Amino acid sequence: MSTLSINGYGDDLTINDVRIGDLSPQQHENIEKQKGGQNYHPLENVVISEVKDSSTLIARKPDPENIKAYIEEEVIDGLCSYSAVNQGQLNQIIVDAVVHHLTIEKLPTVPRSIRHKYMSAFLLAATAVTGMDRVVPKVAGVEAPELMFKLSRRWGYQVKGIPANEALVVAAKGNFHGRSMTAISMSDDPVARAEFGPFVPGIELVPFNDIDALTALFEEKGDRIVSYLVEPIQGEAGVIVPDEDYWPQVAALCKKHNILLAMDEVQTGFARTGAVFAHQLFDIKPDLMGCGKAAGGGILPVSFVAGRDDVIGLLTPGSEGSTFGGYPLGAVVGVFSIKAMIDLNLAEKAKIRGKQIMDRFAMMQADFPDKIKEIRGRGLLTAFEMRDEPQLDGHTVSLELLKQGVYAKETHHSTVRIAPALTISANQIDHIADAIYTVVKSL
């Protein structure tokens, strides 16, 4: 091995002779391109350096005078790590809890094969906030739908009485459940699937928000179907909100056919949509629910599956688990992410600020009907879709917004999602709306 020296913190962090604070945006890009996997397409010419306030970041951009240097500007975070930072960057309630437990309480790291005292705290808080019987902690968001998939199959065999290996899980077209083999097996996105087959069998896709298609599938194959595993509002698809009566009808249909409703609330949960969980907007309760992202307050990856006693109760030792799922620090962060959401009344804030931005989107659509095709959203999970024309390009909008001090990212060609921290101020929402208006006007 060649010699390696690692010294300093922050900008002074130095790997051999490379000091991080000396790198220009172009040099960061070169390192990522040469030494990383090219599985993302980050915005060009910008590198995030640090937090400014709970909904803004400091971004480094090339110095117009000197390509090897950079300037720093504040940008509003309109993406929030795909809704992982609902509680705001470096939320003080969570940070204080982490620092206190690491330094004062001497928080241990142990796996679940030995009990630790913080697990009880996590289970009490997570069952209370979800209103569910049982909760199983996990780490990444994708692990929540993955576990719901496994749980529904086991329930299908043990409780519903489906013959071995014949279970079917139904998913919705346009879904996004993550990047694991099971998640991409449910996906119909060719980019996510290309050359990764063969896929997990036993999956049926239906169009989202089409009760007739679901009814027909349940009529035809209901005796083999274990669950409808689905997002309450499709996030990555571009914030697709179903009709008001869709979920009550789906819940009734699932009940009729003895099929579990397994909702992936990884993106929609934790107050993002103006309710603590999005299914509450539609007055229904799923049998299983997966949470992630803001379940760890943007500080640590924390996810979990919550659900009915008779489904989660089917897990047995060795059938499920991961070293860091529910370990002490994950449990503490999970508890205080819930506390921050409740104490800061984030669901109500999302509703109020969400209405503010949707009202502004509506004005923009009225002014530019030839450019804006549709505006969509609930709470602070919002998006505008532009008409399908070459110059109405979401990536161009993202780049132009950055110049106006707003970080947002397109989903698909012509849709831009805006999902800032739920702690965002009215003035900051106005700033985002003004910036979008200016950019759309210029296209």
Ligand X SMILES: Cc1ncc(COP(=O)(O)O)c(C=O)c1O
Binding site for ligand X (CB under 6 A): 82, 140-142, 145, 176-178, 231, 235-236, 264, 266-267, 292
Listed in sequence order, the residues at least 6 apart from 236 whose beta carbon sits closer than 8 Å to its beta carbon are 82, 176, 267, 411
Q: Which is nearer to ligand X, 9 or 40 (CB)?
A: 40
Active-site option among 77, 149, 218, 293: 293
Q: Which is nearer to ligand X, 149 or 361 (CB)?
A: 149
Q: Are 172 and 231 in contact (CB under 8 A)?
A: yes
Query: Least Å distance between CB 293 and ligand X?
Result: 6
Q: Are 262 and 237 in contact (CB under 8 A)?
A: no
Q: Which is nearer to ligand X, 265 or 287 (CB)?
A: 265
Question: What does the alpha-carbon distance between residue 168 and residue 202 come to, in Å, rounded to a whole number?
Answer: 5
Q: Which is nearer to ligand X, 236 or 400 (CB)?
A: 236
In a 13 Å sphere around the CA of 338, the CA atoms on its Cβ side amount to: 20
Query: Least Å distance between CB 177 and ligand X?
Result: 5
In which order are the strands placed within the sheet that holds 18-19? 6-7, 14-15, 18-19
Q: Are 171 and 188 in contact (CB under 8 A)?
A: no
The candidate with the shortest Cα–Cα distance to 26, out of 60, 56, 49, is 60
Active-site option among 122, 176, 277, 282: 176
Query: Least Å distance between CB 272 and ligand X?
Result: 10
Query: Least Å distance between CB 51 and ligand X?
Result: 20
The candidate with the shortest Cα–Cα distance to 409, out of 44, 116, 50, is 44
Find the residue with minimal CB distance to ligand X: 141
Query: Least Å distance between CB 183 and ligand X?
Result: 7
Question: What does the alpha-carbon distance between residue 242 and residue 214 come to, in Å, rounded to a whole number?
Answer: 14
The candidate with the shortest Cα–Cα distance to 78, out of 389, 442, 434, is 434
Q: Which is nearer to ligand X, 254 or 419 (CB)?
A: 419
Q: How far apart, in Å, do the first and last CA atoms of the chain sit?
A: 53
Dihedral angle computed from the Cα positions of residues 119, 124, 127 and 128, in that order, rounded to the nearest 10 degrees: -150
Query: Least Å distance between CB 85 and ligand X?
Result: 12
Q: Which is nearer to ligand X, 231 or 400 (CB)?
A: 231
Known catalytic residue: 283?
no
Known catalytic residue: 176?
yes
Query: Least Å distance between CB 246 and ligand X?
Result: 17
In which order are the strands placed within the sheet that holds 372-378? 372-378, 381-386, 415-418, 409-411
Question: What does the alpha-carbon distance between residue 245 and residue 89 come to, in Å, rounded to a whole number?
Answer: 35
Question: What does the alpha-carbon distance between residue 187 and residue 197 come to, in Å, rounded to a whole number?
Answer: 12
Query: Least Å distance between CB 12 and ligand X?
Result: 30
Active-site option among 264, 270, 277, 351: 264
**β-pair type (66-77, 56-63):** antiparallel
**β-pair type (14-15, 6-7):** antiparallel
Q: Which is nearer to ligand X, 177 or 360 (CB)?
A: 177
- Helix intervals (H) in 298-420: 309-312, 328-343, 346-367, 394-403
Known catalytic residue: 368?
no
Q: Which is nearer to ligand X, 230 or 392 (CB)?
A: 230
The candidate with the shortest Cα–Cα distance to 307, out of 263, 246, 258, is 263
**β-pair type (415-418, 381-386):** antiparallel
Residues with a known catalytic role:
176, 264, 293
